[in-house]
């Protein structure tokens, strides 16, 4: 897993990743790891598409925020994280949950509001959590979880473990106050935490440049906390993996936090309600060429992986997702007996005698 620290995975200007760029083909990542990355990428992609299908069948009742197009970030980090590490995600947290090993069936069941969902139907799409897997929660109000990730990192430090906490968040999140408070505290306490900004160029429906004082919403703020600016191609699982390994190592060494801006793009709308019409067609087209799945597929072919092997992986994942779908659909709708449970640690919700 250790990579060549001198290897340069940083995104060079212009900010738009170049699909023709071959420079990471010879990155110091072994083939086994790359195949695992590909499998994970497929899993996140196929799961997200399935979730989308289930909306269209009107089986998902609330809102949902997919990571279609952005899966390389969760993939690269998921591969680099160790079992004890902590992940903190946003409402757009499905990919990050699956990347930590959350059961895809239980995740889908949660979207469907079923008893066999990972949260028994209490949390829903925006709050996927699986503490056993280190997935410490998906948080639906912008900003807070960066501060909470600090707490988990602080706890690891106090307990003397080498765990690292990673918080994923969007470009739009860099403009809320909690971002600033979290970064400052992480640095002064030298916490083992990695802040990963998934810059998909939009805060909901508004282009990030229109509402941000600097062009790179995260990287251009790094200096305000004495951190290095790091910008990577968020659509390249290898670039993400290398950056993740470095930042996690740094944290484990006791050298404190990192702030990584991973540039990416979402293929679909912000949430299920959004047809994403506000984006220039040329921009959408340009990013289609950078879709991480075909781009990574091409890289694997270039470095000599047989097409058939990739096809097998794709089909194996498809079978998993089908099984997960069946599992989810078979779940019962939770009832009265769970409504009032788990407000308190005693399992109940009594506020009076």
Partner 1 sequence: MAELSYRDAVAYGIAQEMRRDPALVMLGEDIAAAGGVFKTTVGLVEEFGPDRVRDTPISEQAILGAAMGAAMTGIPVIAEIMFSDFLAVCWDMIANEIAKSRYMTNGQVSFPLVIRTANGGGARFGAQHSQSVENWAMMIPGLKVVAPSTPEDVVGLMAASIRDPDPVIFFEHKSLMAGKAEVPDGEIVDELGTARVVREGSDVTIAALALMVPRALEAADRLAENGISAEVIDVRSLVPLDTATLLSSTAKTGRFFTVEENPRLCGWGAELVSIISEEAFWNLDGPCVRITTPHIPLPSAASLEDLALPSVDRIVETVTRSVDGGGSA
Q: Residues interacting with ligand TPP, by CB under 6 A?
A: 92, 140-143, 169-173, 198, 200, 202-204, 270
Which of 11/300 has CB closer to ligand TPP? 11
Shortest distance in whole angstroms from residue 66 CB to partner 1: 16
Residue from 4, 22, 23, 214 touching a copy of itself (CB under 8 A): that is 214
Does position 171 interact with Mg ion (CB under 5 A)? The reply is yes
Does position 170 interact with Mg ion (CB under 5 A)? The reply is yes
Alpha-carbon gap, residue 198 to 70, rounded angstroms: 8
**HEC-encoded secondary structure of 244-304:** HHHHHHHHHCCCCCEEEEEECCCCCCCCCCCCCCCCCHHHHHHHHCCCHHHHHHHHHHHCC
Give the interface segment with Mg ion, choosing from 80-88, 151-159, 169-177, 221-229 (CB under 5 A): 169-177
Report DSSP state, residue 10.
B
Backbone angles phi, psi at 191, to 5 degrees: -80, 145
Shortest distance in whole angstroms from residue 274 CB to Mg ion: 12
> x/- site string to a copy of itself, residues 169 to 198, per CB under 8 A?
------xxxxxxx-xx--xx----------
Backbone angles phi, psi at 116, to 5 degrees: -90, 10
Shortest distance in whole angstroms from residue 174 CB to ligand TPP: 8
Cα 188-142-95 angle, rounded to 5 deg: 100
Residue from 137, 234, 237, 256 touching partner 1 (CB under 8 A): that is 137
Task: Look at residue 323 and give the partner it binds from ligand TPP, partner 1, a copy of itself, none, a contact being a CB closer than 5 to 8 Å depending on partner kind.
Answer: none
Alpha-carbon gap, residue 324 to 175, rounded angstroms: 37
In this structure, the strands spanning 206-207 and 193-199 are unpaired
H/E segment holding residue 170: strand 165-170
- Burial degree of 84 (CB within 10 A; 0-12, 13-18, 19+): exposed
CA torsion through residues 35, 40, 42, 45, sign: negative
Does position 83 interact with a copy of itself (CB under 8 A)? The reply is no
Shortest distance in whole angstroms from residue 210 CB to partner 1: 7
Task: Look at residue 92 and give the partner it binds from a copy of itself, partner 1, ligand TPP, none, a contact being a CB closer than 5 to 8 Å depending on partner kind.
Answer: ligand TPP
> Given the rule CB under 8 A, which residues bind a copy of itself?
143, 175-181, 183-184, 187-188, 210-214, 220-221, 223-227
């Amino acid at each position: 897993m250790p990579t060549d620290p001198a290897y340069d995975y940083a995104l060079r200007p212009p900010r738009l990743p170049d699909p023709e760029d071959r420079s990471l083909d010879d990155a110091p990542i072994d083939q086994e790891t790359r195949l695992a990355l590909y499998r994970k990428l497929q899993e996140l992609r196929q799961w997200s598409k399935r979730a989308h299908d289930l909306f269209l069948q009107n089986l998902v009742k609330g809102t949902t925020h997919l990571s279609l197009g952005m899966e390389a970030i969760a993939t690269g980090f998921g591969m680099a994280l160790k079992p004890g590490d902590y992940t903190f995600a946003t409402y757009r947290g499905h990919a990050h949950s699956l990347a930590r090993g959350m059961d895809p069936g239980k995740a889908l069941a949660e979207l469907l509001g079923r008893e066999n969902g990972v949260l028994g139907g209490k949390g829903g799409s925006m709050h996927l959590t699986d503490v056993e897997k280190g997935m410490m929660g998906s948080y639906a109000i912008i900003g807070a979880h960066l501060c909470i990730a600090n707490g988990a990192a602080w706890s690891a430090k106090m307990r003397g473990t080498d765990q690292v906490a990673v918080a994923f968040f969007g470009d739009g999140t860099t403009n809320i106050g909690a971002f600033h408070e979290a970064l400052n505290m992480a640095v002064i306490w030298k916490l083992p935490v990695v802040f990963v900004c998934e810059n998909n160029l939009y805060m909901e429906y508004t282009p990030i440049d229109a509402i941000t004082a600097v062009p790179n919403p995260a990287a251009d703020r790094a200096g305000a906390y004495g951190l290095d600016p790091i910008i990577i191609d968020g659509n390249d699982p290898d670039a993400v993996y290398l950056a993740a390994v470095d930042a996690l190592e740094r944290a484990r060494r006791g050298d404190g936090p990192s702030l990584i801006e991973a540039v990416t793009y979402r293929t679909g709308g912000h949430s299920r309600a959004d047809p994403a019409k506000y984006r220039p067609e040329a921009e959408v087209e340009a990013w289609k060429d950078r879709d991480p799945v075909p781009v990574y597929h091409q890289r694997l072919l270039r470095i000599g992986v047989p097409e058939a092997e990739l096809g097998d992986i794709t089909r194996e994942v498809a079978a998993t997702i089908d099984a997960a779908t069946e599992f989810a659909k078979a779940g019962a709708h939770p009832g009265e007996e769970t409504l009032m449970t788990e407000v308190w640690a005693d399992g109940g919700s009594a506020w009076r005698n």
